[in-house]
Chain A
Amino acid sequence: MVLSKMKIIVCIKQVPARDSQLRVASSGAGIQEADLSYEINEPDAYALEEGLQLKEKHGGEVVVLCAGPARAAQTIREALAKGADRAIHIEEEDLGALDPLAVARFIAAALGPEKPDLVLTGLQSDDLGYGQTGVILAELLGLPHATIIMQVEKLDASIRVKRELEDGWFQHVEMPLPALLTIQSGINKLRYATLMGIKKSKNKEIRNVTAAGLGVASQPASIQLSRVYLPGRSKQTQLFDGPPKEAAAKLVEKLKFEARVI
């Protein structure tokens, strides 16, 4: 039998918006969250787009799964407006304090019973940047996986993907379904939500679950984050300020007479 329709689960994360001015919290253990705005983690946006395109080509269903606090509902709504069919929200306030294995255990518990054909995640988050959640999930779920994917081609009961390597190299890899892929930014062209999509999203299901409700026993953390701080400078940077014309003139003078590169 040829497996045609696919049930695709896309894991997405809400992260502080890219241009955020980050300040270390007075406790030194994290960042001040008070004035931040949030958005979908960029590689996850590409994972969602890839899921939507695969569904459009082969039929099936796209379910978004997000672990995060109540505010993440906004990001989930946006994913539904872009075309995801329904969502699962693991609502927990302080997931950032947990290690990636603990968070992945929650996701695996929510995701396993869905029996997806394909699980997609972004390759890393723009905030904590472990770059591990997808691969940990694959191990917890017993799925074959590939990371940093730039192309997905569905075959009969398997997929053929293009994996990015260093220095402009790539590799094709094939594996049976179900499988998990971590998606690289730039794999596709992101769509915008349409007005119709936004309207439709209001009637789509968001199932809220909690970590306790998933029945995942907490385990001692394997790694602990302690102090968060601004990185030091490795170089003494000469900064020029003032009106743009003045700053530009000072910079060019240095480049000509000190660095001698002009």
Chain B
Amino acid sequence: MSILVVMEQRAVQGPPAWSRMSWETLAAGQQLAQELQQPVSAAVLGGPGIDAFAAQLSSKKLERIFAVEHELLKDYTPDTYTSAVRQLVEKTQARIVIFPHTYQVRDFLPKLATALGRVAVSDAIAHRIEDGQLVLVRQLFQGKLNVDVRFGGEPPYFASLQAGAYRADKIADRIEDGVAPVEKFTPQLSPSRIQPLDMFREAARAVDLTAAEIIVSVGRGIKEADNIPIVQKLADALGAELAASRPICDSGWLPMERQVGSSGQTVAPKMYLAVGISGAIQHLVGMKGSKIIVAINKDANAPIFEVADYGIVGDLFQVVPALVEEIKKAKG
């Protein structure tokens, strides 16, 4: 047994639900299995009854499904999840263990790898097999550069995969007769030192960016709060909603409810105009599904241009006012 995909579920109110990224990781696991000629299994952790939920995977092309079940796994803590996955890895002797790069995985995967004297490759965006060895690709400098990473030493090897790096619609169903067996695994756990309390969302969002047809979004390039009206004029000229990348909301220049990205809203408008946004992955995951992406940035190597359909490399303080004039003309 060699490749293990650790899926994530969360039950906030009501029954558990899969984290969307888990499906992408499952697809990646199947792809690795095929390329390395190894079997692939999947696991999901949870409280009593998680085996019934895990059975949802049994139509997939998997050798086995592990339902890692314990009263202490009902609510996530890094202590209990680390201990449970460690015991599963030791039991299964998995060589490659992959996870979706979720906030939860970021919270416990480095602890798990350290406990086993390993280092996880976090937030990988792609892979290839070279001489039978797995090579993972990671981003450096917020996506400005890529780097190839190889594992050294003995397995198990751990990696987490970036949102959107693999396609969930590539998941293969089981061809053979029957279903993949669900195996219940009950780890030995002691209570965590960490006490999880309530999960909540802050006050209801007054601005629903997902309903906007056109979004003008502003980033660090705007330099100071007093310059926000420059992009507001552009939004007004286009009849667009104004949004922002995280640092702008962190600084309080625009309210948090206008934030696009992994911790803010995920949008897919007809047109997304990114002004002075370099395009760190945390932002890109929130907008790369937009139909038309336009980028204005002074750095021609900014990652935002990797996803842009149209772009102007230049000083936004000159480009944006010119653009407002031209849009007004075009709209007559």
Please indicate whether A and B come from the same complex rather than being unrelated chains.
yes
Binding site for B on A (CB under 8 A): 16, 18-19, 21-22, 24, 31, 99-101, 104, 123, 126-132, 135-136, 138-140, 144-148, 160, 163-176, 185-186, 189, 219-235, 237-241, 244-245, 247-249, 251-256, 259, 261-262
What DSSP secondary structure best describes chain B's contact surface?
A: mixed
A151 to B306, CA, bound (A): 34
For residue B291, which residues in chain A have a CB less than 8 angstroms away from its CB?
261
Query: Do B309 and A136 have beta carbons less than 8 Å apart?
Result: no
How many residues belonging to B are interface residues under a CB distance threshold of 8 Å? 97
B309, A169: Cβ atoms closer than 8 Å: no
Choose among B111, B295, B315 the residue with the greatest number of A CB atoms under 10 Å from its CB. Answer: B111
| A128, B325: Cα distance in complex, Å | 41
- Given known contacts A126-B141, A176-B193, A231-B145, A261 and B270 CB-to-CB distance under 8 angstroms: yes
**Contact string, B301-332, partner A, CB cutoff 8 A, digits 1/0?**
10101111111111100110011011101110
* Minimal Cβ-Cβ distance residue in A for B195: A174
Q: Is the CB of B301 within 8 A of A101?
A: no
Contact status A31-B306, CB under 8 Å: no
B residues near A167, Cβ cutoff 8 Å? 263, 266
Residues of chain B within 8 A (CB-CB) of A231 are: 139, 143-146, 303, 306
Complex interface: chain B residues within 8 A of A131 (CB)? 106, 110, 122-123
Partner among A24, A135, A240 whose Cβ is within 8 Å of the Cβ of B111: A135
- Are A168 and B264 in touch, CB under 8 angstroms? yes
Q: In the assembled complex, how far is the CB of residue B20 from the closest CB belonging to chain A, in whole angstroms?
A: 9
Further contacts, 5 of them, CB under 8 A, given A22-B145, A129-B142, A148-B106: A101-B114, A145-B107, A238-B311, A240-B310, A248-B322
Asked whether B145 lies within 8 Å of A228 as measured between CB atoms, the reply is: yes
B residues in contact with A253, CB < 8 Å: 330
CA distance A53 to B12 in the complex (A): 32
In angstroms, how far is the closest chain A Cβ from the Cβ of B46? Answer: 17
B145 proximity list for chain A (CB < 8 A): 22, 24, 31, 228-231
With the chains together, A4 CA to B325 CA distance in Å?
60
Compute how far the CA of A241 lies from the CA of B310 in the bound complex, rounded to whole angstroms.
Answer: 11
Decide yes or no: A238 and B309 within 8 Å by CB, A130-B122, A262-B331 being known contacts: yes
Nearest chain B CB to A195 CB, angstrom units: 23
Set of chain B residues within 8 Å of A172, measured between Cβ atoms: 197-198, 200
A237 near B120 with CB under 8 A, answer no
Q: Which residues of B contact A227 (CB under 8 A)?
A: 147-148
| Chain A at the B interface: SS class | mixed
Cα distance, A21 to B293, chains bound together (Å): 24
Q: Which of B108, B196, B271, B326 contacts A135 (CB 8 A)?
A: B108
Complex CA distance for A227 and B118, rounded to whole angstroms: 21
| A168 CB to nearest B CB, Å | 5
Which residue of chain B lies nearest to A230 when distances are taken between CB atoms in the complex? B145
Q: For window 286-308 of chain B, which residues contact chain A by CB distance below 8 Å?
A: 291-295, 299-301, 303, 305-308
Q: How far is the CB of A207 from chain B (nearest CB, A)?
A: 26
Query: Could you tell me if A251 and B107 are in contact, using CB atoms closer than 8 angstroms?
Result: no
Report A149 CB to chain B, min CB distance, Å: 11
- A222 contacts which of B118, B138, B322, B325 (Cβ < 8 Å)? B118
- Taking CB atoms, residues of chain A closer than 8 Å to B251 are 186
Instruction: Report yes or no: B153 in contact with A220, Cβ–Cβ below 8 A.
Output: yes
A sample of 19 inter-chain contacts (CB < 8 A) reads A101-B117, A129-B138, A132-B122, A135-B78, A148-B107, A220-B153, A224-B151, A226-B148, A229-B147, A230-B301, A233-B305, A237-B311, A239-B310, A239-B312, A240-B310, A241-B313, A247-B314, A253-B330, A261-B270
- Contact among A127, A139, A252, A254 with B115 in the assembled complex (CB-CB below 8 Å): A139
The answer on a CB contact under 8 Å between B107 and A147 is: yes
Residues of A within 8 A of B292 (CB): 255, 259, 261
A229 to B147, CA, bound (A): 6
- Cα separation A50 to B249 with both chains bound (whole Å): 18
